[in-house]
Amino acid sequence: MNFQRLWRVRKRYDHIDAEIRPRGAEWELRILRNGRRLLSWRFPDREAASAEATSRLRDLERSGWHTHW
């Protein structure tokens, strides 16, 4: 199964994406900048992975990034 994008933010000419997918009994969250993986984590369930992605999104918005799909 491919990753599903949860959100994208943009600033100037850069973009950051949060993507999620199941990995066996866990869920993997990836953060990519301009298509290159910066970080990834595994969580026991989708809700925990989504909550972390939302937290990261809020941090980026506070630092000047803008939501863009």
pLDDT digits (tens, 9 = 90+) for 10-28: 999 999 999 999 999 999 9
Q: Say what the pLDDT of residue 47 is.
A: 96
Q: Say what the pLDDT of residue 25 is.
A: 94
Alpha helices in the chain (DSSP H): 46-62
Strand partners, 14: 11
Domain of 12 in residue numbering reads as 4-67
Number of domains present in the structure of the chain = 1
What global pTM score does this model have?
Answer: 0.89
Average pLDDT, the chain: 95
pLDDT at 69 over 80: no
